[in-house]
């Protein structure tokens, strides 16, 4: 996308964000929580707030807020998303929601909108969980579904803990924890997001509304065997943990195919990671999701049983840790119906397998999501895309929604 939807502001913002954390080799983004790229995104957000004369604040969990009106008045209408990325992520997952939020506010000011409710724009910290392994850390802490103690135990691949990383980035980790007062001031939260699938492309619509988020989680499988020489250890003497891991990956695929769930091993760590050594440890992370919570349980149970069976055969120890779990989310029906009315009534309603801060907030606040068409459905990849016209439609839809909710 190159030219400007909705006046110059969207295009300018998009260009400013484009180089931050971008790998020039792949074109993908690495904007991981509390790194330099994340700090640059945060500075950018603060500048956007200040240029527009919005009141800027960072909450106790490092989420950023920009306010038009006084949030302490309550019943605020909040929109926004996240600016962090997965490893080698696309430009749209997250930033589209934040940039569209500022552009929608610009559009409403051009329309001369008179606001009756405070309006907030938020950038939630560490939505993707790319560094510390847990998605939606900022919103989970604020909503109280992640405890401070559990957050303090989070570590990145180099052993840096979340509080250390926050402190290194100039934030006070002592402050982190639930923020019910802040949440109680929000009357509605609307997150705009690129669609991470092809439903809108198939139906020929630019914009959709979210119905629900599938239950999903992350499970870590550790296969512990015995390191030994790749050339001299007889096959029958080996305790090779790679075999259990391989069987487990295939079992995950089979379980997904059998049930309509999705199951992915996208990350693996091998020790000692030498070409000519049988590994001592293979650690793999399963991401599994399904529309039905019971099906998800069955998929994980089937994968675990395959792991244990193969590990026993190879005299390998296997341990399974559930690192995170997000139950099914049903977005507020009344708010969704209100948005459908504001958007003209014929907007498709879609379920999704992707996690979002909106899903975390929906436990405390009436919450809705707007999806913008993604022509290939590709996401969490540099190939993620949306057309300029569809981004414009997204900004205008968000402006209509904010106007209806905050000015009507
Ligand atoms: C985050 O985007 C997720 O769904 O994993
Ligand atoms: Mn994502
Ligand atoms: Mn996202
Ligand atoms: Mn997400």
- The CATH number of whichever domain residue 238 belongs to comes to 3.30.70.360
Instruction: Tell me if 216 is assigned to a ligand binding site.
Output: no
Interface TM-score (ipTM) > 0.90: yes
**What are 173-210's pLDDT values in tens digits?**
999 999 999 999 999 999 999 999 999 999 999 999 99
Q: Which structural domain, as residue segments, surrounds residue 56?
A: 7-214+328-406
Burial class (CB in 10 A: 0-12, 13-18, 19+), 3: exposed
Q: Are 35 and 157 contacting, i.e. CB atoms less than 8 angstroms apart?
A: no
Q: Are 406 and 73 contacting, i.e. CB atoms less than 8 angstroms apart?
A: no
Domain count, the chain: 2
Q: Do 197 and 209 fall within a single domain?
A: yes
User: Best of 193, 267, 355, 377 to mutate for ligand 1, by most ligand atoms within 8 A of CB?
Assistant: 355
For residue 8, what pLDDT band results from cuts at 50, 70 and 90?
confident
Domain end call among 309, 326, 343: 326
In a domain, 134, yes or no: yes
Q: Say yes or no: CB of residue 97 within 6 Å of ligand 1.
A: no
Instruction: Tell me if 193 is assigned to a ligand binding site.
Output: yes
**What are 69-89's pLDDT values in tens digits?**
999 999 999 999 999 999 999
Strand partners, 56: 66
In a domain, 2, yes or no: no
Domain end call among 326, 351, 374: 326
**What are 20-64's pLDDT values in tens digits?**
999 999 999 999 999 999 999 999 999 999 999 999 999 999 999
3-state secondary structure 150-183: HHHHCECCCCCEHHHHHHHCCCCHHHCCCCHHHH
Question: Does residue 3 surpass a pLDDT of 60?
Answer: no
Q: Do 182 and 51 fall within a single domain?
A: yes
**What are 351-403's pLDDT values in tens digits?**
999 999 999 999 999 999 999 999 999 999 999 999 999 999 999 999 999 99
Q: Do 266 and 333 fall within a single domain?
A: no
Task: Give the global pTM.
Answer: 0.92
In the chain the first and final C-alpha atoms are separated, in Å, by 33
Q: Do 158 and 72 fall within a single domain?
A: yes
Any residues with CB less than 8 A from the CB of 18 and at least 6 apart, and which? 91
Q: Do 249 and 363 fall within a single domain?
A: no
Q: Do 333 and 316 fall within a single domain?
A: no
**What are 147-178's pLDDT values in tens digits?**
999 999 999 999 999 999 999 999 999 999 99
Q: Do 279 and 195 fall within a single domain?
A: no
Q: Do 41 and 182 fall within a single domain?
A: yes
Q: Say yes or no: CB of residue 134 within 6 Å of ligand 1.
A: no
- State the greatest distance between any 2 C-alpha atoms of the chain, in Å, as a whole number: 78
Q: Do 237 and 367 fall within a single domain?
A: no
Instruction: Tell me if 32 is assigned to a ligand binding site.
Output: no
- State the closest ligand 1 atom to the C-alpha of 380, by its place in the atom list counted from 1: 2
Axis-axis angle for helices 388-406, 7-17 (nearest 10): 120
Domain end call among 296, 326, 356: 326
In a domain, 147, yes or no: yes
Q: Do 243 and 341 fall within a single domain?
A: no
257: its two tokens: 């195919």
Backbone angles phi, psi at 278, to 5 degrees: -65, 135
From the CA of 111, how far away is ligand 1's center (Å)?
A: 35
Q: Do 67 and 195 fall within a single domain?
A: yes
């Amino acid at each position: 996308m190159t030219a400007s939807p909705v006046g110059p502001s969207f295009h300018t913002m998009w260009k400013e964000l484009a180089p931050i954390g971008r790998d020039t080799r792949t074109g993908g983004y690495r904007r991981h929580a509390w790194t330099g790229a994340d700090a640059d995104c945060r500075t950018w957000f603060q500048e956007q707030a200040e240029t527009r004369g919005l009141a800027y604040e960072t909450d106790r969990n490092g989420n950023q807020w920009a306010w038009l009106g006084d949030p302490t008045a309550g019943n605020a209408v909040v929109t926004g998303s996240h600016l962090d990325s997965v490893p080698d992520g696309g430009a749209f997952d997250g930033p589209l929601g934040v940039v569209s939020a500022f552009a929608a506010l610009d559009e409403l000011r051009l329309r001369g909108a008179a606001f009756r409710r405070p309006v907030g724009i938020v950038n939630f910290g560490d939505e993707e969980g790319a560094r510390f392994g847990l998605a939606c850390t900022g919103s989970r802490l604020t909503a109280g579904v992640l405890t401070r103690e559990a957050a303090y135990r989070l570590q990145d691949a180099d052993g840096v803990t979340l509080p250390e990383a926050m402190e290194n980035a100039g934030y006070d980790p002592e402050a982190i924890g639930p923020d019910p007062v802040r949440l109680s001031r929000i009357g509605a939260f609307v997150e705009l997001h690129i669609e991470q699938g092809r439903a809108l492309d198939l139906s020929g619509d630019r914009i959709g509304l979210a119905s629900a988020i599938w239950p999903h989680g992350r499970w870590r499988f550790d296969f512990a065997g015995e390191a030994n020489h790749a050339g001299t250890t007889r096959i029958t003497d080996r305790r090779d943990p790679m075999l259990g891991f391989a069987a487990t990956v295939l079992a995950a695929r089979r379980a997904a195919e059998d049930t309509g769930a999705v199951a992915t091993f996208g990350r693996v760590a091998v020790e000692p990671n030498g070409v000519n050594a049988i590994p001592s440890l293979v650690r793999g992370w399963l991401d599994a999701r399904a529309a039905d919570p019971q099906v998800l349980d069955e998929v994980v149970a089937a994968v675990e049983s395959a792991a244990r069976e193969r590990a026993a055969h190879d005299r390998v120890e296997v341990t399974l840790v559930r690192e995170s779990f997000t139950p099914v989310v049903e977005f507020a029906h009344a708010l969704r119906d209100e948005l459908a009315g504001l958007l003209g009534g014929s907007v498709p309603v879609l379920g999704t397998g992707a996690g979002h801060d909106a899903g975390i907030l929906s436990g405390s606040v009436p919450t809705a999501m707007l999806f913008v068409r993604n022509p290939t459905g590709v996401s969490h990849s540099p190939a993620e895309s949306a057309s300029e016209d569809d981004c414009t439609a997204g900004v205008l839809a968000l402006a209509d929604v904010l106007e209806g909710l905050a000015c009507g």
